């Protein structure tokens, strides 16, 4: 059999994993549904009006980013240290197959479960809590594309953090990401402000910059389109780094 990927071996690995964690995943999906019901129901109740599509879209992305990052930060935790890591590393499957299983569960499978939970909660709130039925958030109409690019980047960060930090991966990864974001933002402002002679009003990394007396400065449309692929490229690099880190794990 291939030392990297064999479908029969991968299927056995997936069946073993699901047989051991199916109950936990089902409970997690139920907790997610309950949390969404409470959040959407509370916001609808206090405003006495159905949620607008823009509000639903904002809640969809915020909950997706939060819940997705939290779940992803746990999928490779079994390879951290101790007896659990020894059992995980000695399973008769390749490291690539173990990584692919974690990637599939934390990205496409999680997305399907989250979307199902969110729209079920949204429908129940709109018909049971709202004073009158409101329109549900349209799916795949383009509003979620920028957020999904950000989700892919955060998924890569959380996946790398789950194998890099043996304990409290979510908390430690969040601190590192926030620290890096602040550092990049400050350095970006300092460099651009010095370059423009102190006339910079505001600046967003990889985005527009406001110059006093001139208004916003933006990249040409042709160059700006290249930045669209930046989150995906960063996500791919982080996935590769997480896999490389996994291959380094030894008993």
Please give the pLDDT value at position 198: 65
| 158 in a structural domain | yes
| 1 in a structural domain | no
3-class SS of residue 215 = strand
Domain hosting 40: range is 7-248
Share of the chain above pLDDT 90, in %: 46
Q: How many distinct helices (H) and strands (E) make up the chain?
A: 9, 3
- pTM above 0.85? yes
Q: Give Cα 8 distance to the centre of its chain.
A: 30
Stretch 130-145: mean pLDDT = 67
Sheet containing 200-203: which strands, arranged edge to edge?
A: 200-203, 209-211, 215-217
Per DSSP, what are the bridge partners of residue 216?
Answer: 210
pLDDT-derived band at 91 (thresholds 50, 70, 90) equals confident
Reading the block at residue 204, the tokens are 């967003």
Q: What confidence tens digit (pLDDT) does each residue in 143-170 have? A: 566 678 889 999 999 999 999 998 888 9
Reading the block at residue 178, the tokens are 């926030």
Stretch 208-220: mean pLDDT = 69
Q: Looking at the predicted structure, is the pLDDT value of residue 108 above 80? A: yes
| 47 in a structural domain | yes
| 70 in a structural domain | yes
Share of the chain above pLDDT 70, in %: 84
pLDDT-derived band at 90 (thresholds 50, 70, 90) equals confident
Q: Looking at the predicted structure, is the pLDDT value of residue 29 above 90? A: yes
| 145 in a structural domain | yes
155 close to 236: Cβ distance less than 8 angstroms:
no
Please give the pLDDT value at position 128: 83
| 200 in a structural domain | yes
Please give the pLDDT value at position 83: 75
Q: Looking at the predicted structure, is the pLDDT value of residue 72 above 90? A: yes
**Tally of domains in the chain:** 1
More confident residue, 238 or 205: 238
Q: Looking at the predicted structure, is the pLDDT value of residue 9 above 60? A: yes
| DSSP of 157-204 | HHHHHHHH-SS-HHHHHHHHHHHHHHHHHHHHHHHHHHHTTT-EEEE-
Q: Looking at the predicted structure, is the pLDDT value of residue 217 above 80? A: no
* Dihedral (CA of 129, 133, 134, 139) sign: positive
| 2 in a structural domain | no
158 close to 67: Cβ distance less than 8 angstroms:
no
| 97 in a structural domain | yes
Please give the pLDDT value at position 21: 93
């Amino acid at each position: 059999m291939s030392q990297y990927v064999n479908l029969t071996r991968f299927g056995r690995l997936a069946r073993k994993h699901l047989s051991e964690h199916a109950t936990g995943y089902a409970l997690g999906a139920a907790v997610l549904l309950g949390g969404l019901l409470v959040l959407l129901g509370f916001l609808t109740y206090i405003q006495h009006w159905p949620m607008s599509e823009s509000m639903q879209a904002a809640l969809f992305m915020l909950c997706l980013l939060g819940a997705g990052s939290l779940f992803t930060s746990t999928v490779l935790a079994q390879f951290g240290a101790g007896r659990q890591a020894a059992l995980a590393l000695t399973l008769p499957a390749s490291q690539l197959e173990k990584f692919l299983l974690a990637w599939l569960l934390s990205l496409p499978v999680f997305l399907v479960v989250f979307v199902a939970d969110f729209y079920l909660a949204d429908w129940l709130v709109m018909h049971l809590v709202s004073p009158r039925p409101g329109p549900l958030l349209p799916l795949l109409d383009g509003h979620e594309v920028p957020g999904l690019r950000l989700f892919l980047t955060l998924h890569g960060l959380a996946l790398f953090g789950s194998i890099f930090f043996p304990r409290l991966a979510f908390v430690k990864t969040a601190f590192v990401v926030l620290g890096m974001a602040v550092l990049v933002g400050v350095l970006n402002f300092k460099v651009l402000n010095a370059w423009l002679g102190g006339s910079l009003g505001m600046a967003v990394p990889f985005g527009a910059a406001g110059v006093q007396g001139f208004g916003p400065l933006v990249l040409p449309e042709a160059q700006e389109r290249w930045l669209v692929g930046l989150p995906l490229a960063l996500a791919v690099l982080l996935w590769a780094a997480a896999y490389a880190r996994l291959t380094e794990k030894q008993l």
